[in-house]
Structure 1
């Protein structure tokens, strides 16, 4: 069983992390897009990035002035239309 290990965190203080540092010329793509709610009630975007079939990062995007926290897992739901955008 494979596991994910955090290799770097976002410098702004939000909950975004990288599981793999990309090499020169490598570009990860969004493989999943969701919305969730933090414990403070803030709605955040949850983006999962991948490359070559492996997850490379998790980006948490908030829209307030403070760095975004992780959402409560039970509140995370798929972005409507994401699969349509990938085709």
Structure 2
């Protein structure tokens, strides 16, 4: 399997779009696979989906970027869930 470098395929604008608009960016990018689990991830945990996709595609060539994606995913999902929990009380 050929390993691709993230920066050969994407640029900084893609990273910024993924950071602020993960669902829209996934939907309109060429990353869409359309499987059932992909759509569940897109609907319920788009940051985690991005981290999983980054790991499978770029772990060999861009480990720092993949680790950053996991930090972003876990921190973002936790913050989102915490904000939702506080708004209910």
TM-score higher than 0.5? no
Structure having the higher helix fraction is 2
**TM-score, with structure 2 as normaliser:** 0.26
Structure having the higher strand fraction is 1
**Looking at both structures, which has the greater relative contact order when contacts are Cα pairs under 8 Å and sequence separation is at least 6?**
2
